[in-house]
Amino acid sequence: MKIILLISFFNVFLFSDENIRKEFLTQYEYGKALYKKPRGIGCIECHGRNGEGSVISYIKQKNKNKPIIAPNIRGVGFIKFESALKNGKGVMPRYNLTASEMLALYIYLNPNFKQP
């Protein structure tokens, strides 16, 4: 009986989502993976390899090509960052990310960020 309880305890402890993530991935590494492809399309597609921003496309306006630009998202305050993810902004769609996913993305883009 003691052996079964001990095995059950270790299965619950060792294989819970929280322990797996802490054990195998740091928040930075998790954020890096999410940045590449969080929900079908990755932040990297528009905001560039490291969040530096990029030209997404061009639209014709008054016979001139006007760039559609994804801004640099490094160094943006967390509240603004979170709001853009939750609500979308400009041509950026909203994303259904959990609070921990948004924080991991933010930590990846801002490695010097210290959590309160």
Number of neighbours of residue 81 by Cβ within 10 angstroms: 19
pLDDT digits (tens, 9 = 90+) for 18-66: 555 555 789 999 999 999 976 666 899 999 999 999 999 999 999 999 9
pLDDT at 25: 85
∠ CA 30-112-101, nearest 5°, is 25
Which domain range does residue 39 map to?
27-109
The number of folded domains in the chain is: 1
Q: Which residues contact 66 (CB under 8 A, 6 or more apart)?
A: 58, 59, 60
List the beta bridge partners of residue 87: none
Residue 115 within any structural domain of the chain? no
Residue 22 within any structural domain of the chain? no
The DSSP letter of residue 39 is S
Residue 32 within any structural domain of the chain? yes
Taking the model in full, what pTM does it have?
0.72
Residue 116 within any structural domain of the chain? no
Nearest 10 degrees: Cα torsion 104, 110, 112, 113: -60
Residue 80: which CATH number? 1.10.760
Residue 73 within any structural domain of the chain? yes
